[in-house]
Structure 1
Amino acid sequence: MVDYDLLIPYGWTESVAADYEPLLQANRLPARVIRMDRSECDVATPNGVLRARCPRSDSDLGGLCTGDWVALAADLSVRELLPRRTAIVRGASSGRSDGQVLAANVDIVLICAPADGDVDLGRIERLLALTWESGAQPIVVLTKVDAAQYDSLDEARAVAPGATVLAVSAATGMGLEALAAILDGTVALLGGSGAGKSTLANALLGQEVFATGAVRASDKKGKHTTVHRELRPLPTGGALIDTPGLRGIGLQDATEGIERTFSDIESLAQDCRFGDCAHDGEPGCAVLAAIATGSLPRRRLDSYRKLAKENAWMTARVDHRLQAERRREWKVVTKASRKQYRERGTYRT
């Protein structure tokens, strides 16, 4: 007997159920991807957790990721991918025109930054832009505050307008109750290696699920103890996705995410004398005036420019790749057509 209640801990809602209605008539089994392993994946279904076969990576259904809602055929092969409500996508470093989807259908992203050293504000800003662009709600979590040399809450809050910023310690339990109280739906953890993501995930889950490791004392960096993105139900409701540490975090088509991350600068820019002010010495620039008075750090404007420039470059590169891909596809079609005409004896040069 099919028991859809078994899917509730994995994020099953009335909205998701409505998306599945047309597929259920075709005897498809609803499932959520909880872990990817090359050509196979673990999925949560109304019949429990099962092992399913994934489509080829170059097929229309390629690129499945943890958090996706899919439909299975009777042979436990993935046949349909439901539209993603949100998707955390970072720019691809390879020659592909599409980005890499880190997690799908995420409601809240916990941006983990270790507080036992100098807090990397630039990385927080980058992850905020990535999260805002995905459609999820970011929460900045300063981890390891029991080992912090100074209180970095205020400086983290200054770079995260519109986002909640909390300080926690998985070792002592400090702040965990407050964090758990505001989690809802599917939660993903993002951050670099050694940021304490897996330790925090285990604390929120109430058990040692994910492997953890020590960080180097010299540079506070850790090894990749998490090698898979994996979804687990939270005891307080909702689900959690732990992810491997991110070294490179490329932005791609993240204009809206950057604007929301730097909403303080965007708001100041509305008071500039010129509508196209570049904040680079123009008279009547409200942004430079804020820097002069100390209400806006120069580092903040430099970071804004850096991310905006990178995003524009990546977007242009993707456009060039798409054009090149279309040209290659057109050449293949043209070559095949010419061959067909030659075989018929009707092609003229």
Structure 2
Amino acid sequence: MSIIDYGWDEYFYTEYNEKLEQGMFPARIIADYGQTLRAATDSGEILIQRPLNKNGDGMQIAVGDWLLVQYDNNAKANLICTVLKRKTKFSRAAAGIEVREQIVASNVDIVFLIQSLNRDFNMKRLERYMIAAWDSGAIPVVVLTKADLCDDVESKKAIVYETTPGVEVHAISCVTGEGIEEIRKYFTKGKTIALLGSSGVGKSTFVNLLAGEELLKTQGIREDDSKGRHTTTHRELLLLPDGGVVMDTPGMRSLLPWEADEGMEIMFGDVEEIAGSCRFHDCSHGNEPGCAVREALESGRLEERRWKSWLKLQKEMAHLEAKKEGKLRFKEKQAGRHFAKFQKELRKH
């Protein structure tokens, strides 16, 4: 095993040379256990303690990141010196009240957006995954699992092609082996592929099939609602025997992209163009005269489902941006208070 197998290439080597100091060596994070990180190096796997980040302003360290590490003789531990600039980054707004970015996958070359051909088949969810994928910088590929449980595979593939134009779509079955050989072409030495999708779509089963052995635990789906039980609990990079690195991730049923500039343009550029051609720039797309959206909906040029998806995303993204602004103003206010306190202490002396 070498770091080249794990995706080390000219992109990282260039920055590595710029930042390299005596005693440092490159390592890639391959598993995240919370406070402990596992990394791959040319000398084998090592464990690293996650640096403390008391104020929440430090850079996130995610599975897939490349680091420069140094062994500290005093601490008897490997210490992170720096995180190398990321080639790609798939992220979302973290679930919960806190306003923060959650990096789901770092430095991946290809993103497999996985849906199963049973009750998980959901185009609104796929659109969100596609937006985040395009903004990540990685190449998106749609993989439809459990083809053996579907009677109308080709018609569902057609729906996906219409939703994600220009993106490759594959239907596979880990039971019958359908489509698996076609998928293997993506897994070549040094390439990293992330598997993203809801719980129960068959990500872990897919990885085990590719590896030819049970690398990940799997569980079946509940018969009453076709939903999968949560199997993967942490992100992990796995080196495949025939080359390539695969990243399995915990299932995500909801996803709001942290940023959606390029992704929104690619996925909803036609909708935004129509909305921008209304007679009035502040058109609410209701009863105003010259509303291009209403005209497009009535003529069938704009699909009602896509319009509602775009509207919902716009509202959610606007709400997220407002929360980001609020957090920024709060931090600025805190910084102002600290500075005023510092000046007051100086005047005392």
Give the TM-score of the pair, scaled to structure 1.
0.88
SS in 2 for 1:41: strand
Residue aligning to 1:44 = 40
1:88 pairs with 2:93: no
- Once residues 212 and 322 of structure 1 are traced to their aligned partners in structure 2, the CA distance between those partners, rounded to angstroms, is 42
- Once residues 279 and 246 of structure 2 are traced to their aligned partners in structure 1, the CA distance between those partners, rounded to angstroms, is 46
Q: CA contact under 8 A between 2:12 and 2:84: conserved in structure 1?
A: no
Report the residue type matching 2:52 in the other structure. R
1:99 pairs with 2:105: no
- Once residues 66 and 158 of structure 2 are traced to their aligned partners in structure 1, the CA distance between those partners, rounded to angstroms, is 38
Q: CA contact under 8 A between 2:187 and 2:245: conserved in structure 1?
A: no
Residue aligning to 1:123 = 125
Q: CA contact under 8 A between 2:32 and 2:62: conserved in structure 1?
A: yes
Deviation at 1:237, TM superposition (A): 2.9
Gap change, CA 1:273 and 1:315, over 3 Å in 2: closer
SS in 2 for 1:73: strand
Q: CA contact under 8 A between 2:132 and 2:259: conserved in structure 1?
A: no
Deviation at 1:20, TM superposition (A): 0.8
Deviation at 1:67, TM superposition (A): 0.2
Gap change, CA 1:216 and 1:323, over 3 Å in 2: same
Gap change, CA 1:60 and 1:81, over 3 Å in 2: farther
Report the residue type matching 1:341 in the other structure. R
Q: Give 1:1-349 correspondences, 5 Å limit.
A: 6-58=2-54, 62-75=59-72, 76-117=78-119, 119-151=121-153, 152-183=156-187, 185-266=191-272, 272=277, 274=279, 276=281, 280=286, 283=290, 285=292, 288=294, 291-294=297-300, 296-342=302-348, 344=349
Q: What percent identity do the matched residue pairs reach?
A: 35
Gap change, CA 1:25 and 1:339, over 3 Å in 2: closer
Q: CA contact under 8 A between 1:56 and 1:62: conserved in structure 2?
A: no
- Once residues 179 and 288 of structure 1 are traced to their aligned partners in structure 2, the CA distance between those partners, rounded to angstroms, is 42
Deviates more, 1:273-282 or 1:155-164: 273-282
Deviation at 1:14, TM superposition (A): 2.0
- Once residues 245 and 167 of structure 1 are traced to their aligned partners in structure 2, the CA distance between those partners, rounded to angstroms, is 19
Deviation at 1:182, TM superposition (A): 3.5
SS in 2 for 1:262: helix
- Once residues 128 and 329 of structure 1 are traced to their aligned partners in structure 2, the CA distance between those partners, rounded to angstroms, is 37
SS in 2 for 1:8: coil
- Once residues 94 and 40 of structure 1 are traced to their aligned partners in structure 2, the CA distance between those partners, rounded to angstroms, is 23
Residue aligning to 1:347 = none
- Once residues 336 and 97 of structure 2 are traced to their aligned partners in structure 1, the CA distance between those partners, rounded to angstroms, is 19
Gap change, CA 1:235 and 1:188, over 3 Å in 2: same
SS in 1 for 2:15: helix
Q: CA contact under 8 A between 2:120 and 2:227: conserved in structure 1?
A: no
SS in 2 for 1:119: coil
Deviation at 1:26, TM superposition (A): 2.6
Deviation at 1:129, TM superposition (A): 1.1
Q: For residues 264-307 of structure 1, give each alpha carbon's deviation from its aligned partner in whole angstroms, at most 9, with x where no partner exists.
A: 4346668x46594765565372x555544545431011101111
Deviation at 1:122, TM superposition (A): 0.8
Q: CA contact under 8 A between 1:253 and 1:314: conserved in structure 2?
A: no
Deviates more, 1:53-62 or 1:70-79: 53-62
Structure 2 runs not aligned, ≥5 long? 73-77
Q: For residues 208-242 of structure 1, give each alpha carbon's deviation from its aligned partner in whole angstroms, at most 9, with x where no partner exists.
A: 11111111122221222101100012344321100
SS in 1 for 2:71: coil
Gap change, CA 1:135 and 1:340, over 3 Å in 2: same
Deviates more, 1:207-216 or 1:90-99: 90-99
Deviation at 1:68, TM superposition (A): 0.3
- Once residues 233 and 120 of structure 1 are traced to their aligned partners in structure 2, the CA distance between those partners, rounded to angstroms, is 30
Q: What RMSD in Å do the two structures reach over aligned CA positions?
A: 2.4
- Once residues 167 and 262 of structure 1 are traced to their aligned partners in structure 2, the CA distance between those partners, rounded to angstroms, is 25
Residue aligning to 2:75 = none
Gap change, CA 1:146 and 1:290, over 3 Å in 2: farther
Q: For residues 117-143 of structure 1, give each alpha carbon's deviation from its aligned partner in whole angstroms, at most 9, with x where no partner exists.
A: 361111101111111111111111111
Q: CA contact under 8 A between 1:57 and 1:63: conserved in structure 2?
A: no
Q: For residues 99-156 of structure 1, give each alpha carbon's deviation from its aligned partner in whole angstroms, at most 9, with x where no partner exists.
A: 1111111111111111023611111011111111111111111111110143311111
Gap change, CA 1:264 and 1:159, over 3 Å in 2: farther
